[in-house]
């Protein structure tokens, strides 16, 4: 039997499973195929796929999409191939961004590259007849009646069935972690959590022989789980870069356009151009072209050029200062020839990943240039990159203590003595950190609180916005990842679900447009001086 309904801790404040621990469990139990189906999310799918490829495990990529007005009602969508993965990204995006989202609006469409699984009879009835849909049979102690109804309906209507045991934690004892994060999510105390708030205590990875006994009277349910996994083979082509495409009216190829602009810049920047300078520029342009980065450099040039046209203040930073091409295109203000800087520190033919080009803008003007990028390259191909906010020592302690009903005043009294460290250190924090010796976490209820808080160390808490990163994709961004609103939905800022590390693994290229307060101060100072000069 293959587990096709699995929630990691990227089912935010629901699932308790770290992806690394899931892979270890699969290896220990000789599980050669497993799904991840996080709730309305694909944040962890890229990391999950990468780890599975490395461990020679078949990753079944999916998501659990819930109804807007009843989050207990859901459909599992599993991708058969990359097109199915893209469909999942689009469905999640609609679920996150569309207030009028309804599962019925999606199940009556034909999804050629997806497999659908649900235990809900009305959803099975409403699906397009062409879809590959399975009735999910979940015979846990609390769900036996519903499982029997679903089974009888499926048999009467010739719907294939599939064995399932939804997984939210690795071991049964981890239910206490699920209960804690549920209390945090619902802003309740642990002692007020009801059975309706949490999942079944049986939602852990059971021994396969135990599950086979449960389904021994309907062996086809297990056989179908294996058959579904065999159909789901997604190659995300990790490390195969999906470079953005420069928008231009020119008919020449990007490398030719880049050469022309670079030489124009060279003639403006350097009056006496000798053979060594020309050879240096040609060498850099060749490396850029062979690395398929001409479009990328042209896009950054376009952004910089537009900013200068608008009179914005900007400055390039970092290793891009080693590049003569970057200097000629106006990214940087340092002549690498005069300063004897080596291009190879910035990029070279042996480097597999794209170079970092960081451009600082005034904090007052940065949003304007970001808007320009969206408008030129398309709102369907540009997005702000997310960053995952995780539980550190203080936040894990604070949230756990709150779930235990500790007053805010007492929580603050203790938390200010906790240093900035990993939450795993909480049980032994007074030993590791001298400033925490007076905490007294060896007494109850603190001993239980810090032990439990340490178990949610580095769990994703919510998504926020990367301070500078944007991504531009060669086709619709939802071909590659899902989008959602940043935490403050009222601002209307849309971000990628995966963070910069997952996007890089997927092969998308980040462009850093940083917000620099000092440039804003410099702009204000110059404006004051100019105004005084006019007077």
- pTM for this model (two decimals): 0.93
Same domain, 404 and 487: no
Same domain, 325 and 375: yes
Please say whether the beta carbons of 473 and 318 come within 8 A.
Answer: no
Residue 529's pLDDT is: 86
Sheet holding 494-499, edge to edge: 314-317, 358-362, 510-516, 460-472, 382-390, 494-499, 483-485
> CA-to-CA distance for 166 and 323, rounded, in angstroms?
53
Q: Which domain holds residue 277?
A: 254-387+462-525
Same domain, 415 and 283: no
Same domain, 124 and 91: yes
Q: Is the peptide bond before 445 cis (omega within 30 degrees of 0)?
A: yes
Q: Which of 9, 140, 167 shows the shortest CA–CA distance to 76?
A: 167
Look at the alpha carbons of 210, 214, 217, 222 in this order and tell me if their dihedral is positive or negative: negative
Classify residue 239: in a domain, yes or no. Answer: no
Same domain, 93 and 62: yes
Classify residue 118: in a domain, yes or no. Answer: yes
Residues in the chain: 535
Residue 440's pLDDT is: 76
Classify residue 396: in a domain, yes or no. Answer: yes
Same domain, 130 and 276: no
Classify residue 328: in a domain, yes or no. Answer: yes
Same domain, 364 and 292: yes
Measured at the CA of 529, the angle between CA 526 and CA 535, to 5 degrees, comes to: 145
Residue 392's pLDDT is: 96
Of the residues 458, 487, 512, which one is the last residue of a structural domain?
A: 458
Same domain, 286 and 141: no
Same domain, 453 and 492: no
Element (H, E) at 253: none
Same domain, 212 and 267: no
Of the residues 435, 458, 481, which one is the last residue of a structural domain?
A: 458
Element (H, E) at 508: none
Please say whether the beta carbons of 247 and 376 come within 8 A.
Answer: yes
Residue 379's pLDDT is: 93
Residue 473's pLDDT is: 97
**Domain at 58, CATH number:** 3.20.20.140
> CA-to-CA distance for 427 and 369, rounded, in angstroms?
47
Classify residue 248: in a domain, yes or no. Answer: no
Same domain, 452 and 468: no
Classify residue 532: in a domain, yes or no. Answer: no
Phi/psi of residue 357, nearest 5 degrees: -120, 105
Residue 489's pLDDT is: 55
Of the residues 401, 424, 458, which one is the last residue of a structural domain?
A: 458
Classify residue 276: in a domain, yes or no. Answer: yes
Give Cα 217 to chain centroid, integer Å: 41
> CA-to-CA distance for 347 and 292, rounded, in angstroms?
13
Number of structural domains found in the chain: 3
Q: Which residues of the chain have pLDDT under 50?
A: 490
Residue 491's pLDDT is: 55
Same domain, 225 and 275: no
* Burial class, 73, CB count within 10 angstroms (exposed 0-12 / middle 13-18 / buried 19+): middle
Sheet holding 132-137, edge to edge: 33-39, 58-66, 74-79, 114-118, 132-137, 161-163
Classify residue 373: in a domain, yes or no. Answer: yes
Measured at the CA of 392, the angle between CA 386 and CA 397, to 5 degrees, comes to: 130
């Amino acid at each position: 039997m293959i587990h096709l309904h699995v929630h990691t801790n990227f089912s935010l404040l629901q699932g308790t499973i770290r992806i690394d621990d899931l892979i270890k469990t699969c290896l220990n139990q000789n599980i050669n195929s497993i799904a991840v189906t996080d709730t309305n999310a694909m944040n962890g799918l890229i990391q999950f796929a990468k780890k599975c490829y490395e461990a020679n495990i078949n990753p079944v990529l999916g998501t659990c999409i819930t109804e807007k007005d009843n989050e207990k009602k859901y459909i599992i969508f599993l991708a058969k191939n990359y097109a199915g993965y893209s469909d999942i990204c689009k469905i999640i995006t609609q679920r996150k961004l569309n207030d009028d989202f309804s599962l019925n609006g999606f199940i009556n469409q034909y999804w050629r590259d997806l497999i659908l699984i649900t235990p809900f009879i009305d959803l099975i009835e409403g699906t397009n007849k062409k879809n590959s849909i399975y009735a999910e049979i979940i015979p846990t102690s609390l769900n036996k009646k519903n499982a029997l109804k679903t089974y009888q309906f499926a048999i009467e209507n010739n719907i294939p069935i599939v064995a399932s045991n939804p997984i939210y934690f690795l071991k049964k004892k981890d239910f206490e972690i699920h209960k804690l994060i549920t209390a945090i999510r619902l802003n309740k105390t642990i002692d007020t959590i009801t059975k309706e708030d949490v999942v079944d205590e049986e939602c852990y990875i059971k021994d396969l022989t135990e599950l086979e006994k449960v389904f021994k009277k309907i062996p086809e349910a297990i056989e179908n789980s294996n058959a579904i996994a065999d159909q789901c083979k997604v190659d995300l082509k990790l490390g195969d870069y999906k470079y953005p495409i420069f928008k231009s009216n020119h008919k020449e190829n990007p490398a030719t356009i880049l050469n022309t602009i670079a030489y124009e810049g060279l003639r403006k920047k350097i009056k006496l151009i000798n053979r060594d300078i020309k050879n240096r520029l040609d060498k850099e342009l060749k490396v850029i072209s062979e690395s398929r980065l001409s479009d990328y450099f042209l896009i950054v040039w376009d952004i910089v050029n537009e900013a200068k046209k608008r009179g914005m203040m900007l400055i390039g930073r970092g290793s891009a200062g080693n590049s003569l091409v970057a200097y000629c295109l106006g990214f940087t203000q340092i002549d690498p020839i005069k300063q004897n800087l080596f291009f190879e520190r910035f990029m070279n033919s042996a480097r597999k990943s794209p170079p970092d080009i960081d451009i600082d803008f005034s904090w007052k003007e940065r949003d304007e240039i970001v808007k320009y990028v969206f408008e030129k390259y398309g709102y369907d191909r540009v997005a702000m990159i997310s960053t995952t906010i995780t539980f550190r020592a203080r936040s894990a302690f604070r949230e756990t203590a709150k779930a235990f009903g500790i007053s805010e005043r007492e929580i603050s009294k203790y938390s200010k003595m906790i240093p900035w460290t990993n939450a795993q250190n909480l049980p032994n924090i007074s030993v590791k950190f001298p400033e925490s010796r007076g905490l007294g976490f060896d007494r109850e209820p603190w001993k239980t609180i810090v032990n439990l808080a340490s178990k949610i160390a580095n769990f994703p808490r919510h998504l926020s916005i990367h301070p500078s990163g944007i991504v531009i994709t060669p086709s619709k961004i939802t071909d590659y990842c899902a989008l959602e609103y940043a935490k403050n939905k009222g601002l209307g800022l849309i971000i990628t679900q995966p963070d910069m590390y997952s996007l890089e693994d997927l092969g998308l290229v980040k462009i850093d447009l940083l917000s620099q307060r000092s440039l804003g101060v410099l702009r204000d100072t110059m404006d004051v001086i100019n105004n005084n000069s006019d007077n």
